[in-house]
Amino acid sequence: MKHELLLLGRAKASYIEEGISEYIKRLSHYTQFSVNLLKGKKNKANDPKAEGRLLLAQIPSGWQAVALDPLGRQFTSEEFTARINTWERQSVKGVCYLIGGPLGLSDEVRNRADLLFSLSKMTFTHDMARLLLVEQLYRAYTIKNGEKYHK
């Protein structure tokens, strides 16, 4: 199963990019993971619908769409691992993780998502959420393989 992170714009801090790169490298031992950096027109109207359409257009057919949203379901690391195992048993081709820009996600994206997923009740920058998601994916695969990283 493949995983893809759909993003609107680069991370502002180099340490975030470095952390994401490190976890992508680690993930490559377990699964295919890619980052799709979307470039749209400047959103001068502050319209989350325009950003949402850009995200939705990139979800491959047959893939699960997981939208990161503060109102989404929270998982323990073990529960997230179980969700990945379920997707694999169901022969899901891939999972697209959708992280909106500063405007958040449009209702259209939330309604299309197969899963609304929250990393925490706390608020994170969009850049930090990217890093946390990739780290949690890596953690899930180490749990799945019985490796020591998790504990």
- Residue 6 has a pLDDT of 93
Tens of each residue's pLDDT in the chain, 151 residues? 999 999 887 778 899 999 999 999 999 999 999 999 887 655 555 677 888 998 999 999 999 999 999 999 999 999 999 999 999 999 999 999 999 877 788 999 999 999 999 999 998 888 899 999 999 999 999 999 999 886 6
The upper half-sphere exposure of residue 113, i.e. CA atoms within 13 Å in the direction of its Cβ, equals 24
- Residue 149 has a pLDDT of 84
CATH for 10:
3.40.1280.10
Other C-beta atoms within 10 Å of 75: how many?
A: 17
- Residue 91 has a pLDDT of 96
For 35-69, b where at least 16 C-beta lie within 10 A, e where not — what string?
A: beeeeeeebeeeebebbbebbbeebeeebbbbbbb
| CA–CA dist 128, 135 (Å, integer) | 11
Domains in the chain: how many in total? 1
Residue listed under structure tokens 């470039």:
39
- Residue 102 has a pLDDT of 74
Lookup: tokens for 15: 């340490």
pTM: 0.91
What's the domain range around 99?
A: 2-150
| CA–CA dist 64, 127 (Å, integer) | 22
Beta carbons of 144 and 84 less than 8 angstroms apart: yes
- Residue 27 has a pLDDT of 97
